[in-house]
Structure 1
Amino acid sequence: ETYIKIKGKWSYLYRAIDAEGHILDIWLRKQRDNHSAYAFIKRLIKQFGKPQKVITDQAPSTKVAMAKVIKAFKLKPDCHCTSKYLNNLIEQDHRHIKVRKTRYQSINTAKNTLKGIECIYALYKKNRKSLQIYGFSPCHEISIMLAS
């Protein structure tokens, strides 16, 4: 997860990517706690199935959430890794969001803007336009945004 400012208060953007760096899902929350982290990971597992390996930062909330997920979904205990260096792929992927110094006035504005940024960024990634195996399709998201 990373953080952004909305109306002067910090909000947290949870992002999940696969091993190739393709965006699986994004979720904007007002709080960074184990309930938010657990709900996001649970949402990913329901959408994509059980993961072989989950790499996160060393935040206490994420560790607690992963312990609950491992118990609830009967995952292997060694599927969660908190290595500082293995986490670099997602940290580098946060760059295009952190570079933006925009201050958002509402959570809806931030959510829509960030989803648009993610869609455009995903289009530049290799073979992303043709992939249909993931839930996050940039072409589908752009067509939804244009329709509204």
Structure 2
Amino acid sequence: MKPLSFKRHRFPADVIRYAVWLYFRFSLSLRDVESLLAERGIEVSYETIRCWTKKFGPAIARRLKKLRPSPSPRWHLDEVVCRIGGRHMYLWRAVDDEGEVLELLVQRRRDTRAARKFLERLLRRQPIEPETITTDGLSSYSAALRALDLEHLHRPGRLRENNRAENSHLPVRQRERRMQGLKNQPSAQRFLSTHAAVYNTFSVQRHLISRPNLRRFRAEAHAAWAKATA
């Protein structure tokens, strides 16, 4: 894996990595990250931190995704309305049955064409083929899967069985409120894709595991982050 280049930056690489990690790992604003760094004696403006997140965030996300194991073949799909730049848009999201975020896409429409575009992107970027695809009752999913010859995998209209996808929207809703909305479609896509990769790495479901396992999973997550940002 080719190392990231932090050349021509006034601040050390460790400071940049830490600032980017804080912003994507926790529900913090850029000004919150600025304050946390200032408490540690590092004077940097929130606009500089914004530039760091835009430059290094997507590259780190791609590296984290490569380090993840193959997801489960049982997929859950859902879409949620978002207000981006004063317009209603739709965030299409796919997760596996363990809560791993597989793919997301911000689109203006919620029709068959949009569903097919999302499914094609999802299938193209996954290392495995799906065994089942669970969705809500939106008819666009059925039409898109039928066009892709995947209708036999579809499990439509089972709301309780699609709780995985429904619950996966909660971290994004928290960030959306903290950021006071998303500004435009490209920046929303970039931020949400990076946020999903970091979330997959550090989400350890602490309420389901013992304390020794929690420490081990945390250590593995930080090791993956260190490798991705080396």
Q: TM-score, normalised by structure 2?
A: 0.50
Q: Alignment partner for residue 24 of structure 1, among 83, 95, 102?
A: 102
Please list the CA deviations of residues 68-104 of structure 1 after superposition, one character each: whole Å capped at 9, or x if unmatched: 22x2xxx462x21121111001101111112322322
Q: Determine whether 1:117 maps to 2:195.
A: yes
Instruction: Check whether the contact 2:145–2:151 (CA below 8 A) recurs between aligned residues.
Output: no
**Equivalent position amino acid for 1:50 in 2:** E
Q: Alignment partner for residue 139 of structure 2, among 53, 60, 64?
A: 60
Instruction: Check whether the contact 1:123–1:129 (CA below 8 A) recurs between aligned residues.
Output: no
Instruction: Check whether the contact 2:96–2:102 (CA below 8 A) recurs between aligned residues.
Output: yes
* Deviation for aligned residue 1:6: 1.1
Q: Alignment partner for residue 114 of structure 2, among 22, 25, 36?
A: 36
* Deviation for aligned residue 1:8: 1.4
Change (3 A) 1:95 1:88: same
Q: TM-score, normalised by structure 1?
A: 0.74
d(CA) in 2 for partners of 1:120, 1:76:
32
**Equivalent position amino acid for 2:186 in 1:** N
* Over 6 Å off, 4+ runs: 128-131
Instruction: Check whether the contact 2:115–2:141 (CA below 8 A) recurs between aligned residues.
Output: yes
SS in 1 for 2:164: helix
Alignment of 1:8-23 (within 5 A): 8-23=86-101
Aligned residues: 131
d(CA) in 1 for partners of 2:125, 2:84:
28
Q: Considering only CA atoms, is the larger Rg found in Structure 1 or Structure 2? A: 2
Instruction: Check whether the contact 1:2–1:14 (CA below 8 A) recurs between aligned residues.
Output: yes
Identity percentage over the alignment? Answer: 25
Change (3 A) 1:76 1:64: closer
* Gapped regions of structure 2 (runs ≥ 5): 1-78, 205-216
Change (3 A) 1:130 1:31: farther
d(CA) in 2 for partners of 1:41, 1:5:
23
- Aligned partner of 2:66 in structure 1 is none
Q: Which has the higher helix share?
A: 2
- Aligned partner of 1:97 in structure 2 is 172
